[in-house]
Chain A
């Protein structure tokens, strides 16, 4: 079991666009990942509904966990994503909102 703890950098917290980008990255990783608030129960990190329901505000830490050979690499990617302000105007576009 690989684990990482990271503070959410997006100004709005893990909501809206940041939550969309994060859950899409988890789903694309192909490895089951969970996310939890400090002391909270872990939930499926690929579900935007569950992730948004956590209501993680800006600056609060979350713990990601995954298992398997690819887990470390994927978690490092996800940590980098959460440590970025995903609500900044130059953040990557969500893949679901193709224009």
Chain B
């Protein structure tokens, strides 16, 4: 936690900004589970309630929670509706309700009764793993809502948004984000989480300003108007007119920068492809004019929250839609990257002790070759249907032999431009051998940092170790870029670091040939590149590589950046 700078307005909260956006709006709190003594008796009108009365109150709480969730589900759409409907069904469950009431009839306090039954089911589900383990979040959400309703506390969980709001949470799980009406979210603020975690990625995809690791954020009052500034990493309650005006100017600058849709290049004309990361065909349809194509199509979105893998026909339909939407622009398709933080009911092993180091990414081919072959066949069909030439790459490749196996499979399916992700330090160190087997590589800097620094991406409190500016991570990127130059093959970057304008200058200087990012990050990166020559970018890269620590690397790079660029982008 950094101290507030001198002259900062009172009450300003600090965190780690994701992206560069800013927004002003009222706080909508995602309330934590009610912290109550499980042994506390139910008190009605100042008197401890008798078991019969407790039973009545708890039974009503279950019914109200189920009815409330069903009502919300009826007005929601898509994933939000599915999550709400599934949670409503659990609140309605006869066994859950029956067992709780039985415990209450035998004199157990209400909260202890609910907790006891929920934890029994949660334990069974977690032990079963896979799909059931993922439902534990829904089960606990029912527990929190019923306990709050029983005790007359405010409804916990994701709020139902009735106006554009700044969502403030201790942390947002994927299930929480799924239950949010994202069209009414203007910014996201969390106390935990990290800049490469789930929340940050979703926010980047939607172009939402986001600040994570903001201590004290959940202490904000519901409805307080706050100014969220991702570039500065600040959250300011009750902003004055001057702050609102400054944020409005920033927004106008971003709009102005977004008007520039020329191909990405340095001041002296060295091309650096500027591409967008997408997850669905709908993302491809929204693809902004400023993107020269898609540098990372995360196909796992097609597979998540499903009990079985999508058929070759269904996949071919989606890939065809994406290729059509790209309208001749480059599209790099990444094959299924499941496992670790992205478990799939039908593919990943539920009981791996160390899933980030286990059977994930390309390694799934060992257990389920049919998943990959179906996907490649579907891509081959989409290619034939559209006449487009998609590129394809495999995630989590560690060795040249894995790269060769993947290339053989992909080429057999009719895809002719084949690459692999460099996310494992082994692949970065031996990038020349990997590149000998394929046509291109793409650096996934989030996972590369996770594996180089032995730091779980989901552990927000270790964000300093996961910093993309860590010199050891920069060394691995530099080694990969060097291999690209030596073999005259493209080396792209599709991790979060590609979207940081300052890091983009370093990457261009190292010889990276394309940068793929959340679409909202493109204008600032394009502008920064345009204002520096390749030679300056190389000097900036050298300065960063020469530093001993991550903050020193960033500072050394920043010192060489054009003054006007620093001011305009608030670097």
The residues of A with any CB-CB pair to B shorter than 8 Å are: 11-12, 15-17, 20, 27, 43-44, 46-50, 52-53, 55, 87, 94, 96-99
Contacts and interface: CB of A to CB of B under 8 A. Distances in A.
Interface in B81-106: 81-82, 85-86, 88-90, 93-96, 98
Contacts of B408: none
Contact of B74 (A12, A43, A98): A98
A47 B92 CA distance: 9
Nearest to B88: A96
Given A15-B131, A53-B121, A97 B85 contact: yes
B95 A97 contact: no
B132 A52 contact: yes
23 contacts: A11-B307, A12-B131, A12-B346, A15-B307, A17-B307, A44-B98, A46-B94, A47-B94, A48-B89, A48-B90, A48-B93, A49-B90, A49-B95, A52-B125, A52-B132, A53-B124, A53-B132, A94-B85, A96-B85, A97-B73, A97-B81, A98-B74, A99-B81
Contacts of B58: none
Contacts of B77: 99
B125 A53 contact: yes
A44 B85 contact: no
Contacts of A20: 86, 89
B386 interface: no
A44 B81 CA distance: 27
A55 B132 contact: yes
Given A16-B307, A47-B93, A53 B131 contact: no
Given A17-B307, A87-B307, A98-B74, A12 B93 contact: no
Interface of B: 70, 73-74, 77, 81-82, 85-86, 88-90, 93-96, 98, 121, 124-125, 128, 131-132, 135, 139, 307-308, 345-346
Given A12-B308, A94-B85, 13 more contacts: A11-B307, A11-B308, A15-B132, A16-B345, A20-B86, A43-B95, A44-B95, A47-B93, A47-B96, A49-B95, A49-B96, A53-B132, A97-B82
A50 B139 CA distance: 13
Contacts of B345: 12, 15-16
A49 B87 CA distance: 11
Contacts of A98: 73-74
B210 to A, nearest CB: 30
A42 to B, nearest CB: 12
Given A15-B131, A53-B125, A44 B308 contact: no
Contacts of B135: 52
Chain B CB within 10 Å — which of A15, A48, A49, A98 has the most? A49
Contacts of B95: 43-44, 47, 49-50
A20 B135 CA distance: 13
A52 B98 CA distance: 17
A45 to B, nearest CB: 10
A98 B89 CA distance: 13
A58 to B, nearest CB: 10
B282 to A, nearest CB: 18
A94 B81 CA distance: 13
A13 B90 CA distance: 19
Closest 6 CB pairs of A and B: A47-B95, A12-B307, A97-B85, A50-B95, A16-B307, A53-B124
B121 A49 contact: yes
Nearest to A43: B95
Contacts of A97: 73, 81-82, 85
B72 to A, nearest CB: 12
